[in-house]
Amino acid sequence: MQDFPTWYAQLQKPSWTPDASIIGAIWTILYPVIIVMNLIANFSFTPVQFGLRNLPLASLVILVVLSTAILSAVQLFPTQRALAYALLPYVVWVSIASVLQISITWLNR
């Protein structure tokens, strides 16, 4: 079985595909941004939901938490499978919390 860089290098790609080193550099920058966004959204959910009592904004915040958790898991999977799998319980819980929050928002519009 070929390693990831060799396999990827052999794939047909569009002419505008960035060099692999550029893609790697971009993800090196984006991973911390995604993590920070996830943490900020996660920490802000309770004050938004219960402090501000702003259900629509809380729904938006929980969707940011969910999307950044999923994005992290998906992006980690090719190279850090154990970490990606470790995020699955978090993704499942945030998925449930998102459906619950959106349902509460809908029922109280």
14-59 pLDDT, tens digit each: 999 998 889 888 888 888 898 899 999 999 999 999 999 999 999 9
Residue 1 has pLDDT above 70, yes or no: no
The model carries a pTM of 0.79
Which has the higher per-residue pLDDT, 7 or 25? 25
What percent of the chain is helix, strand and coil (3-state, nearest 5)? 80, 0, 20
For residue 44, the model assigns a pLDDT of 97
Q: Which amino acid is at 89?
A: P
For residue 100, the model assigns a pLDDT of 95
Query: What is the chain's mean pLDDT, rounded?
Result: 91
